[in-house]
Amino acid sequence: MSEQKPLLTSRYEIPNAHTIEVAEKHGAYKSARKALLTMKPEDIRAEVKKASIRGRGGAGFPAGVKWGFLNPQEGEQVYLVINGDESEPGTFKDRTILNVDPHRLIEGILITCWAIGAHTAYVYIRGELAHSIKSLDAALAEARAKGYVGEKPFGKPFEIQIYTHSGAGAYICGEETALLNSLEGRRGEPRLKPPFPAIKGAFDQPTIVNNVETIAAVPDVIEMGGEPWCNLSRLAPADGGVRLYGISGHVKRPGIYEAPVGITMRELIDVYGGGMLHDDRPLKAVIPGGSSTPVLRPDLKVDAKKADHPLHPWHGQSEIDVPMGVDTYRALGTMLGTCCAIVMDSSVNMVEACRNLMRFYQHESCGQCTPCREGTGWLLDTLDEICEGRGRPEDVHRLVEIANNMMGNTICAFADGTAMPLLGFVQKFREEFVAAVEKGRPLQARHDDSTAALVRGRAA
């Protein structure tokens, strides 16, 4: 693991760090004070740009660049909206910030509001996370009582109000324009872009939508300076700083870990995750950054012979030895997404794993666009047939065809986020799909006795 002292998680191990008293004793609100009382908004924006914080919500867009799209007209009010929907399967990082160190997020919001000229911020949190909402509400009450949030934060005559807003169960509300509709009391259906939220967002006003972790990184950027923070990354300057990595599935120590941008998947699994859960079962596949990111296969080698290929330094190495970054993973044909990996060992049947996720997408499609509404259903139906032993030889090709017809044909990126992992599974594990179709009998259950025994425990 790295020797760098923890930043995002610096207060995770401190008892009661969720209270303002403890948080302040350990550095909270120092950066906000500095930013609001001594820095001009454009200087803050410049530091954040230099920091190269690639959006932590999944798309990896640089936060500083996004803030630069704002161009409020006379009479318009700028809003900041924080995306705490955290619904992408495999992802469980933002919740740790909300529960353990909510003051870090509040501090980031105060700095960001000042930097972009917003007087109101909403934090949209998925409805299931009732405790995280309570945790943030309690922290907000403390910050209001101290005068940090309100009419004059730290004495500065620049009013900032922060409100939490609860969702009510819908994955699609993590998509930023669906989130805005949900915030406005509507069905969570994505909006056509353009106009982008920076031009016309919440309540038709210019709006910046950022992920919880993105904004939680801002206080450290202000404290250290954009460039030094950026250089903590192994992939600086394009992809800066440190971030939260998640790991779940078949590893010994699933959890959330802070590390520099650019560690490898192998390090994440072996060093942070403590290695594979069962010593006799090697890694078969890993979904790198939430369910929408195409799967990696450790026995596949990077093919980047040409010297100008972005992955050339890793030519001939395993896919899981490429540093985890927004651009490196895109070059690898997958995505970094939310940087929360799902690890699968040799007992997992890839057709079953794919079916599990496609059931998720079928359930969560908002239904606005036909290719997505129908396509997710057809993918699931076809996989159900295959898994139940009624697959036909043409089914593997049909899966690919359906997915290809969904890509790029819808209002939001949900359909792409369904099609891409489906195509990844079929391309990288075609032999398993073909075998499942040919054998014409149900697949064995994916978790065998030894995993079930862990759950059954002594009761078994």
Return residues touching ligand FMN (CB under 6 A): 55-59, 61, 63, 83, 85-88, 172, 174-176, 209-211, 214, 412-414, 417
Q: Which is nearer to ligand FMN, 56 or 284 (CB)?
A: 56
Cα separation of 16 and 206, whole Å? 37
Asked if 126 is part of the footprint of another protein (rule: CB under 8 A), the reply reads yes
HEC secondary structure over 136-157: HHHHHHHHHHCCCCECCHHHCC
Q: Which is nearer to another protein, 161 or 404 (CB)?
A: 161
Q: From residue 372, how far is each of 6, 219, 414, 423 by CA, in Å?
A: 41, 39, 8, 15
Minimum distance from residue 205 beta carbon to ligand FMN (Å): 17
- State the greatest distance between any 2 C-alpha atoms of the chain, in Å, as a whole number: 72
Q: Which is nearer to another protein, 301 or 446 (CB)?
A: 446
Minimum distance from residue 171 beta carbon to ligand FMN (Å): 6
Minimum distance from residue 305 beta carbon to ligand FMN (Å): 33
Select from 210, 134, 206, 217 the least CA-distant residue to 179.
210
In this structure, what token pair is assigned to residue 252?
A: 């010994």
Radius of gyration of the chain (CA): 23
3-state SS assignment for residue 296? strand
Place of tokens 């992809």: 239
Minimum distance from residue 414 beta carbon to another protein (Å): 14
Q: Which is nearer to ligand FMN, 172 or 283 (CB)?
A: 172
Q: Which is nearer to another protein, 183 or 369 (CB)?
A: 183
Asked if 213 is part of the footprint of another protein (rule: CB under 8 A), the reply reads no
Place of tokens 């820095």: 39
Asked if 87 is part of the footprint of another protein (rule: CB under 8 A), the reply reads yes
Cα separation of 253 and 440, whole Å? 37
Cα separation of 423 and 446, whole Å? 20
Residues 223-252 that bind another protein (CB under 8 A): 246-250
Cα separation of 352 and 248, whole Å? 17
Minimum distance from residue 398 beta carbon to ligand FMN (Å): 24
Cα separation of 387 and 248, whole Å? 24
457 interacts with, out of another protein, ligand FMN, none, CB within 5 to 8 A per kind: another protein
Cα separation of 263 and 251, whole Å? 17
Q: Which window, 43-51, 182-190, 296-304, 436-444, contacts another protein (CB under 8 A)?
A: 182-190
- For 353-394, the DSSP string reads HHHHHHHHHHHH--SSSHHHHHHHHHHHHHHHHHHTT---TT
130 interacts with, out of ligand FMN, another protein, none, CB within 5 to 8 A per kind: another protein
Asked if 171 is part of the footprint of another protein (rule: CB under 8 A), the reply reads yes
CB 222 within 8 A of CB 111: yes
| Signed CA dihedral, 343, 133, 257, 218: sign only | positive
Q: Which window, 33-41, 80-88, 140-148, 152-160, contacts another protein (CB under 8 A)?
A: 80-88
Binder to another protein among 62, 90, 197, 241 (CB under 8 A)? 90
Asked if 128 is part of the footprint of another protein (rule: CB under 8 A), the reply reads yes
Residue 431: HSE in the Cβ half-sphere, 13 Å Cα cutoff = 0
Asked if 187 is part of the footprint of another protein (rule: CB under 8 A), the reply reads yes
Residues 284-343 that bind another protein (CB under 8 A): 287, 291, 340, 342
Asked if 82 is part of the footprint of another protein (rule: CB under 8 A), the reply reads no
Minimum distance from residue 21 beta carbon to another protein (Å): 26
Cα separation of 153 and 412, whole Å? 37
Asked if 166 is part of the footprint of another protein (rule: CB under 8 A), the reply reads yes
CB 366 within 8 A of CB 411: no
Binder to another protein among 32, 51, 160, 183 (CB under 8 A)? 183
55 interacts with, out of ligand FMN, another protein, none, CB within 5 to 8 A per kind: ligand FMN
The DSSP symbol for 287 reads E
Site string for another protein, 362-381 (x = CB under 8 A): -xx-x---------------
Site residues (vs another protein, CB under 8 A): 86-92, 94-95, 122, 126-131, 161, 163, 165-171, 182-188, 203, 246-250, 254-256, 287, 291, 340, 342, 344, 348, 353, 356-357, 360, 363-364, 366, 445-447, 451-452, 454-460
